[in-house]
Structure 1
Amino acid sequence: MNSGQYTPYTDEERLKIGERWRRFYAAWDWIVTPEFSGHEHVDADRPSLWVGNHSILAFADASLMMRELYLRHGIVMRSLGLHAHFRIPGWGPWLTANGAVDGTRENCAAMMRAGEHILVYPGGGGEVMKRQGEQHTLRWKNRTGFARMAIENNYPIQPFATVGADDCWDILYDNGRLQDTRLGQWLLEHTDLKADELPPVLKGFGPTLLPKPQRMYFRFFPPVYPAEFRRLPIEEGALALRNRVEAIVSGGLRDLLAEREQDPKRELRARMAGRLGR
């Protein structure tokens, strides 16, 4: 399988990927105890473009969501990734082996024709490489590519929001400062990264990069169908659809953050005490 190139799964490959997620992320799921809501809005028989907020480094929460959707609905998600990921030796093939493809229009259209559930983060690398104080915020700018693809292919959008993963790491040195260093200048000159896509310097659990065991919260929302937006000129329709989805995700983030404050099991100690019957 070419790194970054979309290739449909066989039934055997789909099962193998899903079972890999089930086993590999089981321990992380047990520690984090993620809370999911909105399962009633998910339909495995309605292929959709899943659109939500991107967390720092992404894998801490995306892995749990993909595992949950497989266990509850039998969905094996395919995801669209930044072009640069697939040029990194070892990393690109690993992403491909776990369902990711290069985020090109051609790959996206091919997956839509094949009826895949597709994960996309409109914030892209800029939303992953957050600056200090930008946790749990959207950085979509005026990007409408996902909305245009949904309109052109009449593909439903499944909005979702997730809270918690941005607190798994502390940002010690964000890209606003990194771009002024020699390392930052070298990365800008020798890679395809833009200034707002430079990776921040992070600290996780203790002095390590291991993620802190923050509880995570996920919410799935009713699908947004592109039919009403197809009646508009494509640029106008894509912007209107993008704004609709952004408002849903932003509202979901606010609600989840507020609900987290009231959760007695937010902290790991409380979750472990409950499991031990204390």
Structure 2
Amino acid sequence: MDASLASLRRAVFRFAERGAALSALYHRARLVGSEHLPHDGPVLLVGNHGVWGYETPAFFHLLHRATGRYPLGLAERGFFRIPLVRTVLPWLGGVEGTRENALAALESGELVVCYPGGAWETFKRRHGRYRLRWERALGFVKVAAQAGIPVVPFAGFGVDDTFFWPPGEERLCLRLTADERYRMPLVMGLGPLPLPVQLTFAVGAPLEPPPPDASEHRLCHFRDCVAASVRRLLVRACHA
């Protein structure tokens, strides 16, 4: 890598680290259940995504503080069609969310974070608050089964309350790509800032995946078990 580009990459990463710490401080972010997070070896964390994915830096900051590890996020593939985003995301620990990338990261012993709802949860509307959109999500199950890695469920509460959904929200959106799913609201919360709601992240006990040769019915059943665990953790995070 060119020296100037490497320097720029380090500077962007340091700036993002400071921003993540400030976001965690602003939202009084808490992590519950950190005892379920190993300090080494491969980990596959699976949970719900907040509006815009805004909560991710604060969550990753808490994970790093709890384990000393920098998480690697499996990012929605559509983001890699956005020129600047596809350049910067890998600098910040984001990789395109393919099965191959996930398996390679786990084989390298990474702490991997997966949001099965992807863009459907990130660019949700008002009626989608805290609703898991995992109807067609089997990728993380197949990855866990093939790698033989337990799934560690987590849930974020407060993550869908950081921004307003104003009247006429459909007209107040910026389309990021030609895909209708990638529409970002232009209205924030408290003036130029998100609303200062508290963010609470709850981590649950690991769930053993099905075997690599499991039937699709069994894979779907495991996905639904993880989703049920995330919903229970949402209740826990709400009352923590």
Displacement, 1:221? Answer: 0.6
User: Once the 2 structures are TM-superposed, how far is the Cα of residue 146 of structure 1 from its aligned partner?
Assistant: 0.7
Aligned to 2:24: 29
Shift of 1:157: 1.0
Give the Cα separation in 2 of the matches to 1:149 and 1:43.
Answer: 19
Q: Which has the greater radius of gyration?
A: 1
Other-structure match for 1:251: 232
Residue 122 (structure 1) shift = 0.4
Q: Give the counterpart letter for 1:147 in structure 2.
A: V
TM-aligned CA deviation for residue 32 of structure 1: 1.3
- 1:58 aligns with 53
Q: Report the TM-score, using the length of structure 1 for normalisation.
A: 0.74
Report the AA paired with residue 45 of structure 2. W
Task: Say which is worse superposed, 198-207 or 133-142, in terms of deviation.
Answer: 198-207
Cα 1:221–1:157 change in 2 (3 A) is same
Aligned to 1:99: 93
Check 1:18–1:48 CA distance in 2 against 1; reply closer, same or farther (3 A cut): farther
Q: Does the CA contact (< 8 Å) of 1:169 and 1:202 recur in 2?
A: no
Cα distance between partner residues in 1 of 2:234 and 2:59 = 16
RMSD, matched Cα: 2.8
State the percentage of identical aligned residues.
28
Q: Does 1:201 align with 2:196?
A: no
Say which SS state the counterpart of residue 78 (structure 2) adopts: helix
Is the aligned partner of 1:224 residue 2:207? yes
Residue identity in the other structure for 1:237 = R
Aligned residue pairs: how many?
Answer: 232
Moved more, 232-241 or 214-223: 232-241
Alignment of 1:1-278 (within 5 A): 22-59=17-54, 61-172=55-166, 177=170, 191=178, 193=179, 195=180, 197-208=181-192, 210-226=193-209, 229-230=210-211, 233-257=214-238, 259=239
| Distance (Å, rounded) in 1 between the aligned partners of 2:218 and 2:64 | 32
Q: Is the 8 A contact 2:23 2:57 kept in 1?
A: no
Cα deviation for residue 115 of structure 1 reads 1.6
Paired amino acid for 1:204:
M
Q: Judging changes above 3 Å, is the alpha-carbon distance between structure 1 residues 94 and 202 closer, same or farther for their aligned structure 2 residues?
A: same
What displacement does 1:147 show?
0.4
Alpha-carbon separation, structure 2, partners of 1:174 and 1:199: 14
Counterpart residue number, 1:270? none
Cα distance in 2 for partners of 1:253, 1:174 equals: 29
User: Structure 2 unaligned runs (5+)?
Assistant: 2-9
Kept in 1: contact 2:42–2:107 (CA 8 A): no
Check whether the contact 1:52–1:161 (CA below 8 A) recurs between aligned residues: yes
Report the CA distance between 1:123 and its aligned residue.
0.4
| Corresponding residue of 1:6 | none
